[in-house]
Amino acid sequence: MSLTDTYDTPAPIPEPSGLPAAAPTQPADLLLRVYYEDTDAAGVVYYANYLRFCERARTEWLRALGFSQQAMFASDGLAFVVTRVEADYLRGAELDDWLRVASEVAASGRASLVFRQRVWRGDVLLFDSRVTVACVDMLSKRPRRLPASLAALLPPRTPDSPDNNASTEPA
């Protein structure tokens, strides 16, 4: 008897070739596999790792739009900082599972973005979150407007945008 006879082997999913260049209002997907290092003693993905998966997906979303966080920091001293996370853990992922992290901009402000990020195994929703990131000048540690080239790609701000009434944002 071989291991493959004993354990269910997940059906292979083609390796992603990167995110397609899509409009930022459309969800962008990142495919990833669960490794042993992602799991806890019970064999399921450790809760904090879902946040790591979402971080990777946001980074890839920016890359798909042609933005490098490293270049943004080097040229303008700007970085994105997570300021709020709301998360619902619905089901656990396990070793060797293929996961899809779907990311989309739910709201945008002058200096922030709110992402709706969900982690799926097939058609089963495992994790549902809203992550707010602020664009920050890393020298002054103060909020700064999103780069104009990125802001131009985003949907218009709405009255419920996260920093619509922010008093700490410079003009």
User: Catalytic one among 8, 38, 40, 88?
Assistant: 40
Cα–Cα dist 25/58, whole Å: 13
Neighbours of 136 (CB within 10 A): 19
Reported as type and span, the H/E element at residue 58 is helix 47-64
Q: Are 153 and 108 in contact (CB under 8 A)?
A: no
| Residue 86 vs residues 71, 80, 126, 127, 133: alpha-carbon distances, Å | 29, 17, 14, 11, 12
40 catalytic, yes or no?
Answer: yes
| Residue 48 vs residues 7, 18, 105: alpha-carbon distances, Å | 27, 24, 21
**Phi-psi map region of 43: left, alpha, beta (phi>0 left; psi -120 to 50 alpha):** left
Catalytic center residues: 40
